[in-house]
Structure 1
């Protein structure tokens, strides 16, 4: 390995360009999170419509969020059962890593963030005491708006470096901090104030004000970042194709809510007859010229309009009355259903995940409908599992533990729990399909299958054996019933 060069000589080569790429990627991650949380701002073609909805208090109405289902429908199947090694002596080490870093809580959140944003990172580095001795390993999740990795242009599968950047202070005291992680060293930088776009105007300086050096050797020969992504080289939010339908649904719901009041309390009108005589008692009872009749203008007056059934309302001066019809709810509800279907089609998520009120379907039909979903879940398990395996392997090397074959055990996405499904498996077994394959197809994980088959003293009974046992039990019960009758 070549001798690392001091950061003031090579660090600026990548620093500014990497920082700009990190900053440019942030809006897309922000947008993905807003759509997932249902907090995307609605836009209207007409300013008058926006003003009208603002008057009704609907401009800030929470959206009818369905886009998150495109993420949750997949992550609900991402259950990590265990991380195991062949060397049983390392089980306690893995348990310590999990407990010290709260990985039982952090890993599910890491996988959800990777699915929601497209990218997420796990930073792995030694945890040291005041004397610099390694006492553990830090395994920390990092947001893609704070960290970004960069791959070799010659070999896109090799991680070349990673950048971590954050802000401290405010206004006059604002500082941009940045750490660059290479396979052989780490550089720490600082910039006073906002970083200008022009690299010639940027004034990055090595940072060592906290007592640690600006240049730190990396003795592990590897960038200590592990990339969880839904695509390569950088991920795509799993619900990105739901953005359009979600915006349409938001507009429909908001517009419908603006008309609900008019459906409950319609606006009414009365057309005045221009030739009507309006000098009667309804028109001017309390004009200055009206004779005193012992009634005070300030006192409540009895209504001349009786609301009882079959009563006749005498409306003087009006030729016609009526009410304005509110917008037909079907104008909103029918497109609403269509946009939900469009969201399911665009995101390739089964429609029943968005609408569970339809007719119940059989287990086999549901499995067929969910097959694309299962394939996508298994693809995510392979991608995320590879990053997890490398992260735990690096953590063991930091602790100077021997290399180990790490296995990531997921809860299977597919499972069979209905009679028809099990009958199909039994028929497959009669055709010679091995038991471990059938149990895996039924949805059991490989560790449990190996344990069960190893502990199985006798071959699993075939269909005829089961039928014979059922027949014998039936004959015995019939014999008991015959003896009772004879007695």
Structure 2
């Protein structure tokens, strides 16, 4: 994903920079939001650090290297189960020429590959952005449109306090250099202008100590006119005004699972190689020796009389170990694996319940269920996916309409975003139910939609379907000629 979006547009700079107050406030809000986004990333990637109530336990695990063991990550499933169901089929209009323009935009920006990643980012963080701006040639003339997905850790939008549906500005910030050469760059995007700023060194919390300066080092003006009348950012979010990660409710169960897995692995060595003990008998006579079995009667065993003899402790099966001075021997019982595995299964169920993701998405080893049962179990997932299709689809539609405005290709033909239906019926019982509904008079387009076919395909199929003759059309074809019995006999 792109992390920088330098605007380039052949235009005169505006009269001045007026967003300094907004700049510092927006920048602080951007960096304050980063820790939660970083936390969501770590849970998604399975890189979250363990927390232990006992420092001694933490030291013991560190000594054995188990504190570096990768987590048994299941939290990402809460994101992937939803975003993997968000399949964008097409973006079209009712104008073939405009459809060609949309196809060119998609190909030029590689959106077939970038858009699924944008959906994954929105699901993982709760927020993702699409930056739309003219692409220019060396002379500054617009030759196309840039549609670049951006990470919420480098960009953030802001809404009107009076009307939360209106986006008033956006900020994008990134760093270049390090230590003495560190420079913090920031762009502010308004509906009428774009302001470019830079700050040498780390930005202090106190606005009075911050030393933001207009950025013109690349030869472009610090303030650039925005002739399009709207902020060129499009916000994909799972909630309003800002989204929440789809796996946020999996954080707790994932931490519990990590601790169970790590603790279980710490006991596996003791199950394979148990610790043993021997109780000494204080009354035992230890005056004898147990160093070997060499005697003059065994001169051919290869051991010289002056050398230590072989041990009498034989490790072969059914051998008896004759231990001198010990009253009792035994081994310590390792921890029962059920103490870890049973809670492990319960926490997986808790994760499924907390995230409203079907349990079979986390554990596919259970008993097979029927198609109808699976659809009932998946209903909460279907509802969430369809809700995101509406929200993401509306944002995607506005982004394409803005791109067409930049290209001066505005049209009365609306842009339509077509998703692959998340619901589908492909089992025998489901198809038989559709047939029964058809016999009861349910329209064919409704049945095809229930089966999971795309509305665009359904319209195309029904439009090309041959018209079946009806009783009224047969009656309109004219009266049927009656043939009397004599004429029938002559014809025969």
TM-score (norm 1): 0.90
Alignment of 1:378-457 (within 5 A): 378-403=386-411, 404-457=413-466
Q: Deviations over 1:93-130 (max 9, x none)?
A: 11111111110000000001000110000000000011
Which whole-Å CA distance do the structure 2 matches of 1:13 and 1:371 have between them?
47
Task: Tell me which residue corresponds to 1:477.
Answer: none
Which whole-Å CA distance do the structure 1 matches of 2:189 and 2:418 have between them?
30
Task: Tell me which residue corresponds to 1:277.
Answer: 285
The match for 1:82 among 73, 87, 90 is 90
Shift of residue 142 of structure 1?
0.6
Shift of residue 5 of structure 1?
6.8
Shift of residue 6 of structure 1?
4.2
Segments of 5+ residues of structure 1 without an aligned counterpart are 286-291, 461-487
The match for 2:346 among 322, 335, 338 is 338
Shift of residue 295 of structure 1?
3.0
Which whole-Å CA distance do the structure 1 matches of 2:304 and 2:140 have between them?
102
Alignment of 1:138-153 (within 5 A): 138-153=146-161
Q: Deviations over 1:143-190 (max 9, x none)?
A: 000000000111100100000000011101101100000000000001
Check if 1:267 corresponds to 2:267: no
Shift of residue 306 of structure 1?
2.1
Which whole-Å CA distance do the structure 2 matches of 1:267 and 1:254 have between them?
20
Shift of residue 279 of structure 1?
2.5
Shift of residue 433 of structure 1?
1.4
Q: Deviations over 1:276-323 (max 9, x none)?
A: 2222212799xxxxxx972325xxx42312233432211000000000
The match for 2:367 among 352, 359, 377 is 359
Task: Tell me which residue corresponds to 2:189.
Answer: 181
Task: Tell me which residue corresponds to 1:113.
Answer: 121
Say whether the 8 Å CA contact 1:176–1:190 is kept in structure 2. yes
Task: Tell me which residue corresponds to 1:200.
Answer: 208
**Pair 1:134–1:429, CA change in 2 (3 A):** same
Which whole-Å CA distance do the structure 2 matches of 1:445 and 1:182 have between them?
38
Residue 135 of structure 2: SS of its match in structure 1?
strand
Task: Tell me which residue corresponds to 1:306.
Answer: 314
The match for 1:157 among 140, 156, 165 is 165
Task: Tell me which residue corresponds to 1:34.
Answer: 42
Which whole-Å CA distance do the structure 2 matches of 1:115 and 1:129 have between them?
35
RMSD: 1.9
| Structure 1 runs (4+) greater than 6 angstroms displaced | none
Which whole-Å CA distance do the structure 2 matches of 1:358 and 1:178 have between them?
52
Shift of residue 275 of structure 1?
1.8
Residue 281 of structure 1: SS of its match in structure 2?
coil
TM-score (norm 2): 0.89
Q: Deviations over 1:389-435 (max 9, x none)?
A: 00000001101112231010000000000111011111112222111
Residue 123 of structure 1: SS of its match in structure 2?
strand
Q: Deviations over 1:182-206 (max 9, x none)?
A: 0000000011111110111111111
Say whether the 8 Å CA contact 1:11–1:187 is kept in structure 2. yes
Which whole-Å CA distance do the structure 2 matches of 1:310 and 1:254 have between them?
37
Say whether the 8 Å CA contact 1:7–1:206 is kept in structure 2. no
Say whether the 8 Å CA contact 1:119–1:230 is kept in structure 2. yes
Q: Deviations over 1:322-362 (max 9, x none)?
A: 00000000100010000000000000111111111111111
Which whole-Å CA distance do the structure 2 matches of 1:194 and 1:109 have between them?
31
Say whether the 8 Å CA contact 2:127–2:236 is kept in structure 1. yes
Task: Tell me which residue corresponds to 1:485.
Answer: none
Which whole-Å CA distance do the structure 1 matches of 2:138 and 2:445 have between them?
52
Say whether the 8 Å CA contact 2:91–2:417 is kept in structure 1. yes
Residue 66 of structure 2: SS of its match in structure 1?
coil
The match for 2:306 among 295, 300, 310 is 295
Which whole-Å CA distance do the structure 2 matches of 1:211 and 1:459 have between them?
70
Which whole-Å CA distance do the structure 1 matches of 2:436 and 2:13 have between them?
64
Which whole-Å CA distance do the structure 2 matches of 1:308 and 1:296 have between them?
24
